[in-house]
Structures are given as structure tokens and as C-alpha cells.
Structure 1
């Protein structure tokens, strides 16, 4: 019995933090780095004396790019390991798998990846970009700066690309783009044969109007996609691709020649010069013992989310989820590009937006940025079902009731949970 008593006492001495990222399967190429970044942030916090006088203890699980397994592992983290918060998920389908679990068990999930919006949960904090912080500014850039008239919306076949493209299609049509100037294409995870699709894109782009590809292709399918573009002689100056899921990590270890000149839209690039970023990169290299390891946007989102959580726990004086959830809106934490990001009442944050051009060393040269921080919008202004919705978990603008999907026309809350 003594051993159990001691281990129970030991458990009280630490604050457990759940790390829920795929370390195997098709998404490991992107997610393993986030696990490492979280371990670094936890180690740094412990060097500062931990949190509320206790050490933080990471609990790492591998949901293996298997969406139902994400829910199972999240349940384990909350019910068995009793973690104070979960940092994790990459694809929206994994997040949607975890969402009912964190709502049921009153956990906290920090989600660090750009996503399609159309969701707001009391238990989830979205530190990656909403569509108005990535997809919409990228299309604006292509329209204004590159004079693009024809659009290929190419994505992996799951919820994030489909919803983002629904928003982008509505946005393009509202801007006067003709339906025949929009081509939409979906491929499965891990797609390796791009020959036919790329030749369709080439044909679509040969109509004498400037054409661009807006890519929500995710995971390891990106490598053969860009290779095929190069193989068919499609250059960035002819048909530029702007990607929302290709960052430094995805470019590391691949031949970047076929990608040079193509674009990506993010809220952070490793190449951005700021004291905070220089420090972060130095710590990352020291932590991984590898000067070649790159940083990327979802890492920055994890960094911001973790620091916001730490501040909220300190403010609440406890890791009790209800008190921490209440403390988070209004909390500010530095981002790595030189500004301060704030957690908004809709559980999204303020972020700058950058468009970067791929260089032959796998880094990005920033070609455009927003003048100020853009507040993340949970509900798109361009979809009929959501343009009248707002989210405010403080209740300040929703008639006193905390609500994730408040209809500003009917002044009603359409249910407290996220819309599925």
C-alpha cells in the first residue's frame, strides 16, 4: 500500500500536461515537431520554477494519425492521467474527434494549427489561424499583387480543406469571379500520383488568364505534388501555388528546387527578424541538440498557447479548468514576430498575417504582411449560415449568456456546444 500512497503523493506534487500529437502515420511529418516544442516549453517553464510552486510533468501519447484514437487518448489523458490541459491535434478531423471528449470531461484543449473556423467551444482555445487570418488575406494578395483571375482550390479530402474552400469559393464569387474560373479538387491523405491532376491544372491555367493554386493539401502528399508541378514544367511565375499547410518543417529534407518561388501564407516564418524569435530559435537548437532543426508557424502557435495557459493558471491561482477557462480571455502573450497576441472572448487570438516565398534553402522570404494584428473570427462572414453568428464565452456581447454561436439577428444562442 505504501508504494501507492507515495505515488499518489508524488502525483500531487506535479501538474500534468497532456501532449496529444501523432508520432507515427501520415501526419507524423508535421506533428512530431510540436511534441518536441511542447517538451521544450515545459522544460523552460520548469527551469523558471514550474507553475504554482509545482513542476510540470509532460504526458506524451501517440494517436498515430488515427482520428478515433485521438478521442480515446484524450479521454485517457483527462480521466486517467488527470492532466490540467491538453496541447494537441493537427488535422481538424482529429480535433473534432477530441472535442466531445474535452466538453464531456470539462478539459482544456489548446489547438495550434490553422483551421477552417465554423466552430467555437468553451473547452477549446484556437491559437492557429482562422480563415480570416490566413486564407482570405492570401486570396486578397493574389488578386491585388499577382492579378490572379482563375483559381484552383486544391485540397486533401477532409473537413479543413472542404470548409475553407467553401468559404473561399463564396468569397471569390462575392468578388465577381465567375464560377467557370474556379476549379476545385480533392485528393485522399497520402496521395502520391499527381500526374492527371497536375495536367488538369495546367490545362485550366492555359486559358490566357492569370491562374493560381490555393493549396490545402496536407501532410506528406505535398512532396510528390510539387515534384509533379516541376516535372510538367509549371513554374511559380506561371501558376503560383499558395499553400496553407507547407512550412519550414515540411520543406526540411525535401528537394526544394521545385518549390522555389511558390508561396505560403502563415502568421510566422522562421526567417522573421525579432529578438523573441532569435531567442526561440537558439533555445530550439540547444534543446534538440540539432542546429538544422527548423521552427514553424504551428510551433509559434503552441508557444503562444502554452504561455497564455501559464498566465491564466497564475491569474486563477489554480489549474481548475473552469477557473482557467474564465481567466483566459484578455490574457496577452508575446508572439515570436515582435508583437503581443491576445486571447479573445471567442477563444481565438490576434495574429499578424505574412505571405512568404519559398527560397532554395527551405526558408521563406516575406513578400507581404498585414499592417496590424488580425483578430481571429470563429464564424465566416462569407457563409450564409454563419455570417450572423458571433462567439463570446464571457457573455459580454451575447446578452449575458456565454455562447459560442450567438445569432446577432434573432438575439438567440444556438446551443452552448460547438456546432458539429
Structure 2
């Protein structure tokens, strides 16, 4: 049995979020949501009387910086439960280290799927919980000709591969596919937009992340495609990005996510109130933050029920508990270590906020390997 290193005075847990990375804006919201949930768990009595004690270290911008922080947290701070990482390259850098320490990572970010680790719980959306729904919406309402623009790393390449398969199932086409370096130059963006002008796609599917998102929207705003009603769509853009844009850059933009800050239910309102009360009224609250929040509560429920603080006991209980998250009730699929999640399509309105325009009636079982999914006859004619 692998102990998760609790102590009478507290249970140390690590946070792996960077203030220097490409995606630092959304990672800040995820760190805040993690701390809020830890406070709530402790106010409710902790884990059978033992409080969670958060441990954080400064983390640089590179995947190896996350690995080094995880190593220090495990070896110097006695941590065996960690919440975080954001980009797929940082998750992939951390996982082998945590597997060698028999530690547990709870990962709160949408990703490209096609992965399993006994030492990881995935609480962000898998492709069948967001890519499928976004592709179907786009093909029904916006047309059949897509143009892909992404950053040159694993999430973008794999997400684009999945979306290409989905579009081609429904007789759609990808008329262009470009990968930008992080912190792309103006020349890089101008070259891509020149090709967008040439191809005149019905929409752009963006796997650009972090600070490059704003510059992509600025470049697209100057095109005739945008003037003609073309839109950018994405899985990764969120409220922390909208906070850095005006509505003239973002209005009409589409995203698929389990939760948006405009969602109006008691759990969502309480989550927003808690975030704003602790971290300021202006903090943007994101879907990644919502996953970071509820995964702490899922872990706490499982740890309370486990009876003993071991990896095996907590994992066993994680497959049995549920939580009324801001997006709706969520639970873990024990076979895949991924979470049943809700799927929504949001459109940015004139207020520069996401309006939910489509929602699934029930939470969606994760299929991280897309084994069983096909559009089949469900895909009707294009707009």
C-alpha cells in the first residue's frame, strides 16, 4: 500500500501552477480556485479532522520547471497529492516523476485525450466532451470549411487531428492548417492571416493558447473574413482571455466548455461569490478554475471515505463519490480516471461575456480514446 503522507498537524498537498508560463492568466485562476476549495474543505472539518495544508513553489515557464517543482514538493515537503499543471507538455513532464514517487496528480484542464496514468485523475474535458459537440455545432450552423491555427505543441497537433477526423466524417474539410511558435511574431501572424484571406474559410478553429490568443484575435479583426462574419472557435479560450480583449475583438467567438461564468445556478453563484470575495471582484473565473475547484472537493470526499490515507484506498473511493459542482453533478469514471462532465457551447456577446447557446441534457461519460464515438447519422446538413 502506498501512503499519501498525512501528518497529525495536517495533510500537505502541492499546487503546480505557474505565474510565468504561456498560460499564466488561466493558471492563476486555477490556483485561486484550488485554494478556495481547500479553505472550504478545512472549514468543514478537513479530512476527518486533519486539515489540508497547501504547499506552493515558484514555477518557471518551461515544462521542466514544473517537474523540478513537483520533485521538490515530493522530496522536501513530503507531498504525495498534487493539484495542477495546465498545458499538456507540463503534465507530461510531471507524470513520470509522480509515478516514480507513487504520488497522485489531479489535473484540471481540458486536453487532447489518449492518455491514462494510474497516478493521475483528469477532471478537465476529454475530446468526446467538447470537440465532438463543437464540431457538430459548427458544421450545423457555420459551414463545412475549417481553417486550423495552433501553437506548435502536443495539444494543438492532437486536438487538430481529432477535429479533422470529426469534420471529415461529416464531409467537411480543412482548408488550411498552420502552427505558430509561442510568442509568435507579427510576421508569423500576418502570414497566417494572408492564407486565411486566400482560403476564405467558414470559421477558424484555434488551438492557440495563453497570451498568443489576444494577438490572434487582433490579427483576425483586420481581415475581410472577419468583416464578412467569420468567427474564431476554440476549446482553450476562456474568461481570463476575454478580460484582455474588447468586445469588438471577441464578439461572436465560440467555445465548448463544461462551465461558463455566466451559468446561473446555486452552486455556480456560490463559487463565483467565493472567488470574488477572496481574490477580488475583478478576477476572471474560468472553466479550468471550476475544474480545479471541484476536484479538490472530490478528492476530499474520497479521502474521508477511504479509511486510510493510501493511494489505493483514495483511488478506490474516487470512483464512488460525486460532487455538486458549479457546472452540475460530477463523478469519476473509475476505469479511465476521467470525469463525467457537462457540455456547453458558449458564444461571446456584446458584453464580452459567454452566452450559453447549447447544452447537453445530461453529463457525458468520458471516452478519452474516442473508441465508441462516431457522428453516424446524427450529423445533419450544413448551414
Q: TM-score, normalised by structure 1?
A: 0.83
Provide the C-alpha distance between the structure 2 equivalents of 1:46 and 1:213, rounded to a whole number of angstroms.
Answer: 44
Question: CA 1:248 to 1:236, structure 2 compared with 1: closer, same or farther past 3 Å?
Answer: farther
What residue in structure 1 maps to residue 284 of structure 2?
A: 294
Task: Tell me, yes or no, if structure 1 residue 224 matches structure 2 residue 220.
Answer: no
What residue in structure 2 maps to residue 325 of structure 1?
A: 315
How do 1:27-176 and structure 2 match up within 5 A?
27-146=23-142, 148-176=143-171
Paired residues of 1:84 and 1:320 also in contact (CA < 8 A): no
What residue in structure 2 maps to residue 351 of structure 1?
A: 341
Greater relative contact order (Cα < 8 A, sep 6+):
2
Task: Tell me, yes or no, if structure 1 residue 184 matches structure 2 residue 177.
Answer: yes
Provide the C-alpha distance between the structure 1 equivalents of 2:320 and 2:7, rounded to a whole number of angstroms.
Answer: 31
Provide the C-alpha distance between the structure 1 equivalents of 2:207 and 2:370, rounded to a whole number of angstroms.
Answer: 17
Paired residues of 1:192 and 1:221 also in contact (CA < 8 A): no
Aligned length, in residue pairs:
365
Partner of residue 283 from structure 1, selected from 256, 274, 282: 274
Partner of residue 362 from structure 1, selected from 336, 339, 352: 352
Moved over 6 A (4+): none
Question: CA 1:108 to 1:356, structure 2 compared with 1: closer, same or farther past 3 Å?
Answer: same
Moved more, 43-52 or 148-157: 43-52
Kindly state the Cα deviation for residue 172 of structure 1 after the two structures are TM-superposed. Answer: 2.0
Paired residues of 1:313 and 1:324 also in contact (CA < 8 A): yes
Provide the C-alpha distance between the structure 2 equivalents of 1:218 and 1:26, rounded to a whole number of angstroms.
Answer: 7
Provide the C-alpha distance between the structure 2 equivalents of 1:310 and 1:237, rounded to a whole number of angstroms.
Answer: 50
Gaps of 5+ in 2: 1-5, 374-383
Q: TM-score, normalised by structure 2?
A: 0.91
Moved more, 233-242 or 321-330: 233-242
Deviations 1:202-257 (A, max 9, x none): 2111xxxx611111111100111101111224438622211111111111133232
Question: Which has the higher Rg, Structure 1 or Structure 2?
Answer: 1
Paired residues of 1:114 and 1:130 also in contact (CA < 8 A): yes
How do 1:15-26 and structure 2 match up within 5 A?
15-26=11-22
CA RMSD of aligned residues (A): 1.8
Provide the C-alpha distance between the structure 1 equivalents of 2:251 and 2:172, rounded to a whole number of angstroms.
Answer: 28
Provide the C-alpha distance between the structure 2 equivalents of 1:322 and 1:362, rounded to a whole number of angstroms.
Answer: 45
